[in-house]
Amino acid sequence: MNQIRLRAFAKINLGLDVLGRRENGYHDVRMIMQSVGLFDQLHMKKTHNSGITLSTNLPYLPSNENNLVYRAVSMLMEEFHIEGGIEIRLEKYIPVAAGMAGGSTDCAAALFGMNQLYRLGLGMDKLFEYGAKLGADVPFCLMRGTAVSEGIGEILTPLPFMPHCYILIAKPGINVSTKYVYDNLDLNRIEDRPDIDGMIDALNKQDLYEIAARMSNVLESVTVDKYPVIDVIKQEMKSLGALNSIMSGSGPTVFGIYDDLKTAKTALNKLRKKDLAKQVFLVEPFHTKQTSNPKK
């Protein structure tokens, strides 16, 4: 195998609770994570030249050790004493700095790709271990599907797949710093917390309406005050027929759950016309396991 093409799928948080802050600055969380059908594409190719060459379709993205893809590949090349070089082309479609794990899922795809290309023989548990060194969301992006995420995000418990629905995603033309959001989160002032256990029960029952009713994200207590457009988009999605709408991760991306395709498409078109968001997508939940498209 000399080259491989991979899809790196985005995620949303159906529920996000922050339980406390550790002495090292990390936060303990309890979240319901869900993969969605919006993805980046990664093309990895062995070369005779030494080193890593990374290029992307977005000129402002770093192409060195400041990029998680580069760091993932570099880590495994060093760990397994891999000689020669590798050329990587990253096509970004997931919004950047959006709370959808775009960087983490690219990193996960790079780890998976290296394991396949060089026949490293790493099982998923070992890939999780490497992934957790690079980012808290990377293990989930390797697993994909639906899961409870605990600890700092690295403790994963698979859940029944989310019932079929339509997910409207809107990212306003702002970027939100994850560090800013967590640094300004006042855990003592959070009054409404997501019902994670209730959502797990709803997933077990495959009840989309109960799942939607329990969607909540405590990080909105920080972001909505600073960026009111997040709440404007949420309310707009609800007025356009969403069962519920919340922010994903640390934001600023907002998503709404729809049970009817026609209603979802109408909401998509109306939201685009209102110009509240810079990027708007209509997707479905994604459940397929990590796969590759190898080429000899």
Specify if 259 maps to a domain: yes
Residue 153, pLDDT score: 85
- Verify that 11 and 33 share a domain, yes or no: yes
Task: Of 262, 263, 272, give the one whose Cα is nearest residue 243.
Answer: 263
Distance in angstroms (rounded) separating the CA atoms of residues 76 and 78: 5
Give the Cα-Cα-Cα angle 273, 277, 278 (nearest 5 degrees): 100
Specify if 135 maps to a domain: yes
- Verify that 248 and 217 share a domain, yes or no: yes
**Residue among 17, 40, 137, 171 flagged as catalytic:** 137
Strand pairing class (216-217; 3-21): parallel
Task: Of 250, 279, 9, give the one whose Cα is nearest residue 169.
Answer: 279
Specify if 293 maps to a domain: no
How many distinct structural domains can be found in the chain? 2
Residue 128, CB-side half-sphere exposure with 13 Å CA sphere? 13
- Verify that 226 and 250 share a domain, yes or no: yes
- Verify that 173 and 152 share a domain, yes or no: no
Identify the domain boundary among 158, 182, 213.
158
Residue 261, pLDDT score: 98
295 is catalytic: no
- Verify that 141 and 177 share a domain, yes or no: no
Specify if 195 maps to a domain: yes
What are the residues facing 247 on neighbouring strands? 254
Where the chain has pLDDT below 70, the residues are 288-296
H-type alpha helices, 160-219:
178-183, 196-205, 208-213
- Verify that 11 and 143 share a domain, yes or no: yes
- Verify that 245 and 198 share a domain, yes or no: yes
What is this structure's pTM?
0.93
Specify if 289 maps to a domain: no
Identify the domain boundary among 158, 186, 215.
158
Identify the domain boundary among 128, 158, 188.
158
CATH number of 121's domain: 3.30.230.10
Specify if 67 maps to a domain: yes
Q: Residues 124, 129, 130, 136: is their CA dihedral positive or negative?
A: positive
11 is catalytic: yes
- Verify that 98 and 213 share a domain, yes or no: no
CATH number of 274's domain: 3.30.70.890
Residue 43, pLDDT score: 98
- Verify that 171 and 152 share a domain, yes or no: no
Measuring CA to CA, how many Å separate 130 from each of 108, 127, 167? Answer: 9, 5, 31
* Cis status, amide bond into 252, omega within 30 of 0: yes
**Residue among 11, 17, 40, 171 flagged as catalytic:** 11
Distance in angstroms (rounded) separating the CA atoms of residues 28 and 283: 29
Q: What's the burial of 289, exposed, middle or buried (CB within 10 Å: 0-12/13-18/19+)?
A: exposed
- Verify that 179 and 229 share a domain, yes or no: yes
- Verify that 180 and 244 share a domain, yes or no: yes
Residue 26, pLDDT score: 80
Neighbours of 48 (CB within 10 A): 6
Specify if 292 maps to a domain: no
Specify if 226 maps to a domain: yes
CA dihedral 29, 30, 35, 39 (to 10 degrees): -10
- Verify that 24 and 139 share a domain, yes or no: yes
Expressed as residue numbers, the domain containing 244 is 166-283
Amino acid 123 reads: G
